[in-house]
């Protein structure tokens, strides 16, 4: 593992796990190519398959001695067309009038798929209004509500085509009554807790209370896994600031977001989300279709390269690959190109954190002041790196969000902290086996940095630490040290 190269990778790359990378060798190759974190899409595959994915990621970690976070992405109340069985699909003809109904109602009443589209949405008749638009298959197909007859919703086809089984469904103008956490999500979240994933991504978050509901569920198991709220509904944009305040991170989920709102607005909303997350010291991930063409092609398009670069310029902490790594033909190449694009963009990235209007910071003023000072000092060419000892990773996040020039290495005794900081911009987590006195721990960190060949002897670095260590003190000390 080339740790020098890894330390200088600023923007993090999150890869979705799937059949294309289902071996230790592939995960190792992805990390060596520049991957930093892995996503389990709980909408697909079994718990047994996800458990095997966790095993191979942890094995790759062990081989490389490089720690990576795993994110369990909950499906949420994803609306879909039901399994259409032998029919395979329903031909939607423009101008034709049809019905929609929940799949259980369709089965109980033995209704024909020729007239009724079965969907996984029990409260559809309650929620929709006359003239509401309903979109299928990423917005390619469109019907409009023209009436309701009990549990049946009458629609007219606007944009036609073949509607296939299990295609997604979006209702941009409908107030959605279903809970953000479904029965499936509760089962999946329990699995994530039991198998010690590092983050949980919550889909279709609409309000801050949605996030708090998931957090309360976890507290019933005595754990607190950081929650990443996926912004993909119009209501979430309205409630964005409150959602960010109660979340541990945010994902700009441009797939459903680009169907729920106009595609023309997505770049503007993306910039708004990233900017607000940076102001609130929250990690932010930009996701969906970033290198979509590389599912089948060995090179990205110029437009895709520009899209990734612009997310970096916007100030995103991480960029995400979905099908490109999970089922794509060129997963290693996709990561390689994404890392190349990020690295080239970072050379031209001149973000002055002094111009950011931060909304909040550490509850302890000393910690925030130390973090600010460390980031500022990294601009001095005589400083080659920053090392921080942090039990929770808070200091690492406060420094990371100020975009230091020098690489940031976050040491911790807690393996979960070491992994979680791997999602922070410009931050690499490493495990320290034990801490003793302040002076001795600083010497241990310096020795480890040289021994691991992160830096050569004689290099100057900034170290932040809490004193006294034995009392688990918050970060309150900064020192310039020569290795």
Check whether residue 186 and residue 55 sit in a common domain.
yes
Tell me whether residue 354 is in a domain.
Answer: no
Give this prediction's pTM: 0.93
16 noted as active-site residue: no
Check whether residue 156 and residue 241 sit in a common domain.
no
Residues listed for the chain: 483
Query: What range defines the domain where residue 401 resides?
Result: 361-482
Check whether residue 66 and residue 193 sit in a common domain.
yes
471 — pLDDT class (breaks 50, 70, 90): low
What is the rounded distance in angstroms from the CA atom of residue 77 to the CA atom of residue 210?
Answer: 12
Check whether residue 160 and residue 219 sit in a common domain.
no
Check whether residue 461 and residue 399 sit in a common domain.
yes
142 noted as active-site residue: no
138 — pLDDT class (breaks 50, 70, 90): confident
Check whether residue 189 and residue 55 sit in a common domain.
yes
Check whether residue 38 and residue 93 sit in a common domain.
no
250: its two tokens = 């945010």
Tell me whether residue 191 is in a domain.
Answer: yes
- Domain boundary residue, one of 345, 380, 396: 345
288 noted as active-site residue: yes
**Could you say which of 10, 12, 39, 420 is catalytic?**
39
Q: Give the burial class of 6: count Cβ atoms within 10 A of its Cβ; 0-12 exposed, 13-18 middle, 19 or more buried.
A: middle
Q: Where are the alpha helices (DSSP H) in 389-474?
A: 394-400, 415-420, 438-451
Check whether residue 325 and residue 201 sit in a common domain.
yes
86 — pLDDT class (breaks 50, 70, 90): low
Check whether residue 60 and residue 96 sit in a common domain.
no
The pLDDT of residue 188: 97
- Domain boundary residue, one of 142, 170, 198: 170
Check whether residue 297 and residue 392 sit in a common domain.
no
22: its two tokens = 């289902």
Tell me whether residue 164 is in a domain.
Answer: yes
**Could you say which of 10, 58, 80, 474 is catalytic?**
80
Q: Which residue has the tokens 């699995």?
A: 191
Check whether residue 45 and residue 127 sit in a common domain.
no
The pLDDT of residue 113: 83
3-class SS at 202? strand
Instruction: Pick the range with the lowest mean pLDDT from 75-79, 83-87, 315-319, 381-385.
Output: 83-87
- Domain boundary residue, one of 170, 192, 225: 170
The tally of domains found in the chain comes to 3
39 noted as active-site residue: yes
Check whether residue 62 and residue 201 sit in a common domain.
yes
Tell me whether residue 350 is in a domain.
Answer: no
């Amino acid at each position: 593992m080339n740790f020098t190269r890894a330390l200088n990778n600023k923007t993090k790359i999150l890869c979705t796990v799937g059949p294309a990378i289902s071996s230790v060798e592939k995960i190792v190759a992805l990390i060596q190519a520049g991957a930093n974190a892995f996503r389990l899409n709980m909408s697909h595959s079994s718990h047994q398959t996800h458990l095997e994915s966790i095993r191979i990621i942890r094995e790759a970690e062990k081989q490389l001695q490089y720690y990576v976070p795993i994110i369990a992405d909950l499906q949420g109340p994803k609306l879909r067309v039901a399994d259409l069985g032998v029919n395979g699909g329903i031909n939607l003809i423009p101008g034709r009038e049809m019905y929609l109904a929940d799949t259980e109602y369709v089965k109980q009443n033995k209704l024909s798929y020729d007239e009724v589209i079965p969907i996984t949405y029990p409260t559809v008749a309650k929620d929709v209004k006359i003239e509401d638009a309903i979109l299928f298959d990423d917005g390619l197909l469109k019907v409009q509500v023209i009436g309701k007859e009990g549990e049946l919703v009458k629609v007219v086809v606007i944009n036609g085509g073949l509607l296939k089984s299990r295609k997604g469904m979006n209702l941009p103008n409908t107030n959605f009554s279903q809970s953000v956490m479904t029965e499936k999500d509760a089962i999946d979240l329990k699995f994530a807790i039991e198998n010690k994933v590092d983050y949980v991504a919550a889909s279709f978050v609409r309000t801050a209370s949605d996030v708090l509901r998931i957090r309360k569920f976890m507290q019933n198991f005595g754990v607190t896994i950081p929650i990443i709220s996926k912004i993909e509904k119009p209501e979430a944009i309205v409630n964005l600031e409150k959602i960010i305040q109660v979340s541990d991170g945010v994902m700009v989920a441009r797939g459903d977001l680009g169907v729920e709102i106009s595609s023309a607005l997505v770049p503007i909303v993306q910039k708004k989300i990233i900017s607000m997350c940076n102001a609130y010291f929250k990690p932010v991930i930009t996701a969906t279709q970033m290198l979509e063409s590389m599912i089948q092609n060995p090179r990205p398009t110029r437009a895709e390269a520009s899209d990734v670069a612009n997310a970096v310029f916007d100030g995103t902490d991480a960029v995400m690959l979905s099908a490109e790594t999970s089922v794509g033909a060129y997963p290693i190449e996709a990561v390689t190109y994404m890392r190349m694009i990020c690295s080239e963009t970072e050379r031209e990235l001149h973000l002055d954190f002094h111009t950011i209007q931060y909304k909040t910071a550490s509850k302890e003023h000393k910690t925030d002041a130390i973090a600010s000072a460390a980031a500022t000092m990294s601009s001095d060419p005589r400083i080659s790196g920053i090392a921080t000892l942090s039990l929770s990773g808070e200091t690492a996040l406060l420094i990371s969000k100020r975009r230091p020039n020098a690489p940031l290495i976050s040491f911790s005794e807690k393996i979960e902290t070491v992994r979680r900081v791997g999602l922070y911009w410009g931050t690499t987590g490493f495990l320290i086996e034990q801490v003793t006195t302040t002076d001795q721990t600083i010497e241990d960190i310096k020795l480890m940095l040289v021994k691991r060949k992160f830096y050569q002897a004689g290099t100057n670095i900034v170290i932040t630490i809490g004193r006294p260590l034995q009392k688990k003190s918050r970060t309150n000390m900064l020192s310039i040290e020569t290795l």
